[in-house]
Amino acid sequence: MEVEHLGIWDKIESISYDEMRAIQDKRLIETVKYVYDNVEYYKKKMDNIGLLPDDIKNCDDLYKLPFTTKDDLRDTYPYGLVAVDMDEIVRIHASSGTTGKKIVVAYTKDDIDTWSDMMARCFARIGTEIRDIVHVAYGYGLFTGGLGAHYGAERLGATVIPISGGNSRRQVEFLTDLKPTIIACTPSYMLHLYEVMTEEGFTTKDISLKADMFGAEPWSENMRKEIERLLNIKAYDIYGLSEITGPGVASECIAQNGLHINEDCYLPEIIDIKSKKPLGLDMQGEIVFTTIKKKGMPLIRYRTKDITKLFRDDCECGRTLVKMERVTGRTDDMLIIRGVNVFPSQIESVLLEFSQLTPNYQIIVDRINMMDVLEIRVEMNENLFSDEVRKIEMLERNITQAIESVLAISARVKLVEPKSIERSEGKAVRIIDKRKI
Amino acid sequence: MLVKQISIFLENKEGRLAELTSILADACININALTIADTSDFGILRIIVDDVSKTENLLKKNGFSVSVTDVVALDIDNVPGGIAKPLAMLHKSGISVEYIYAFLAKKDDTAHVIFKVSDVTAAVDILSKNGFRNTAKS
């Protein structure tokens, strides 16, 4: 890639609709044939509905294909959807599942290469250049955020500070000493860093950030305005999920009006939440992706459960890629807390391991001092109540540790009296999300 | 000397203690001794009453987490060193004290002290052999 094209990383981002459609048609046909031949699970799925690869002639036939859900990933755990010999897999990432069982995703060398390119596109989209220093404060490891941003920024040629998450004081030290110009992290973490910075007597004059790339958790337009005002930077949204590749599926450009989807690799569609029928542009529903340039673990019509809509506009950045709106909600009860996916059922299964507790619990999520805080209130079993403070506190500690080992985030556990959690008729109110997003 | 104490788990919630004591009052249950162990999240109310099983059932019926614990009640002279003596005895016998609370009787100059110990039977044995008594109600 030539340096002078940094504005738009890849020319494919600004080709005409017809040109893009031709690429998508070709790649979809190839992908369907590829999974049919190489993934037993998909072959069965297609055989079950009497669908042959030849029946898919272009993107208009996409709706004929079966969906893939998180359950499919769980059913085929760990390598059931891998389409290549394990010799060709060079990387594994994982995310937590609803019942504690992990979901793993596998990448070939080419997949990592494509992903790096997609992330380089995203960085270029917000004006990142070779001379920029990118501070990556997403967690490095099984979570795709850290390494995804890292590879993308490196691919672009920028300087990367792979600081990972946590240790806010050290983060501030790096921000003020090394003067990174771009930061990639969750928006709530950015606000937290701002607070730590202020506590330590620094102002925005002491840092050189000009833009940040925020993802991995829901945030609002108001939060954007707040961050931009406090830090005097531009805040951009990025979208992705491990199942599809990680961050880099879609991202905002300088226009800050919708996220350009890298649709030459991740073919998007919106489906009606109830009927599951495809919807057109500008209609809100669940966004579904088909990976059309992935070799290790390609997914057909993957149900993200994220609610948004697709639209096209004449974007000032010159890109023609279709846009998605900021994700406005979920079709399931998944919570995103400090960038980590949390299902209430995970918490429940931990609580049920303690005989001193009842299955009556409530999960309260709040944003205190700009940080997501998770509190779990659980009723004591009245017959197992101990008279000793020490024992009750130890129980709270043990629950906290067990929760942390399953969710990988800390929670405040509070034991409450039996029958004190409000009972509702029908579905229990398990989750109280007080965050104003 | 061996007394049954009722412990109640209380969330740190406004009015919860008032609610509990009103329930006891309405049932004409007199509290002879009372203490609260508290943390930032919850408290444990410990009381000594006349009718233990009636109190226990009543509180359970009203949705409280209740447990009954054996504790030791002692008369202690209200003089310097009064409490040091029995504590030294327990310590020498290898009995540990988990918590203590005390109240003064009106009529004489005796303090009544409640001990939660690791081995109630052994504690009662040692203390009574050494002349300690309990004259408080219950």
What was the pLDDT predicted at A427?
Answer: 53
Does residue A126 have a pLDDT over 90? yes
Report the pLDDT value the prediction gives residue A128, as an integer from 0 to 100. Answer: 96
* Cβ neighbours of B64 in A, within 8 Å: 382, 417-418
Dihedral, A79, A80, A84, A88 alpha carbons, nearest 10: 0
Give A119 to chain B, closest Cα distance, Å. Answer: 45
Is the separation of the CB atoms in A357 and A376 below 8 Å? no
B41 to chain A, any CB pair closer than 8 A? The answer is yes
Q: Residue A201, by phi and psi: left (phi above 0), alpha (psi -120 to 50) or beta?
A: left
Instruction: Please name the CATH architecture into which domain A3-331 falls.
Output: 3-Layer(aba) Sandwich (3.40)
Q: Name the band, by pLDDT with cuts 50, 70 and 90, for residue A303.
A: very high
Q: Is the pLDDT of residue B137 over 60?
A: no
CB-based contact B37 A415, cutoff 8 Å: no
Partner residue opposite A382 with nearest CB, options B5, B10, B60: B60
- pLDDT single digits (tens) A57-98: 999 999 999 999 999 998 999 999 999 999 999 999 998 654
Judged by CB atoms within 8 Å, which residues 7-26 of B form the interface with A? 7, 9-11, 13
Task: Return the structure tokens found at A272.
Answer: 């009606």
Q: Strands (DSSP E) along A205-283, which ranges?
A: 211-214, 234-241, 246-252, 259-261, 266-271, 278-279
CATH code 3.30.70.260 region(s) in chain B: 71-129
B39 touches chain A (CB under 8 A): yes
Q: What is the pLDDT of residue A1?
A: 43
ipTM of the complex: 0.74
Between chains, do A417 and B11 touch, taking CB under 8 Å as contact? Answer: yes
Residue A5 confidence class, pLDDT cut points 50, 70, 90: very low
Residue B53 C-alpha, separation from nearest chain A C-alpha, in angstroms: 15
- How many CB pairs below 8 A link A and B? 49
pLDDT tens profile A380-404 = 877 677 888 888 888 899 999 999 8
**Sorting pLDDT into bands at 50, 70 and 90, what band is A423?**
low
Q: Which CATH number fits domain B2-68: 3.40.47.40, 2.130.10.10, 3.30.2130.10, 3.40.50.620?
A: 3.30.2130.10
Backbone φ, ψ for residue A263 (5° rounding): -75, -10
Residues of A with CB under 8 A from a CB of B: 380, 382, 385-389, 392-393, 396, 414-420
Say which of A385, A415, A419 has its CB closest to residue B67.
A385
Average pLDDT of chain A is 90
pTM of model > 0.80: no
DSSP H stretches of helix in A260-338? none
Contact by Cβ (8 Å): A262, A238: no
Q: How far is CA B14 from CA A135, A235, A420, B46, in A?
A: 47, 43, 13, 18
Among A12-26, A381-395, B83-97, the least confident range: A381-395
* pLDDT (0 to 100) of residue A283: 96
CATH architecture of the domain with residue range A337-433 = 2-Layer Sandwich (3.30)
Q: Among B9, B39, B98, whose Cβ lies nearest the Cβ of A417?
A: B9
What is the three-class DSSP state of A265?
Answer: coil
pLDDT of residue A358: 75
First-to-last alpha carbon distance for chain B, in angstroms, is 9
Helix (H) or strand (E) run with residue B44 in it? strand B42-49
pLDDT averaged over chain B?
88
> How do the domains of chain A map onto residue ranges?
3-331, 337-433
Percent of chain B scoring above 90 in pLDDT: 46
Share of chain A above pLDDT 90, in %: 65
CB of B132 less than 8 A from some CB of A: no
| Contact at CB, B98 and A392, closer than 8 angstroms | no
Task: State yes or no: pLDDT of A237 exceeds 70.
Answer: yes
> Which regions of chain B carry the CATH code 3.30.2130.10?
2-68
Per CATH, the homologous superfamily of domain B71-129 is ACT domain (3.30.70.260)
Q: What is the pLDDT of residues A146-157, one digit of tens each?
A: 999 999 999 999
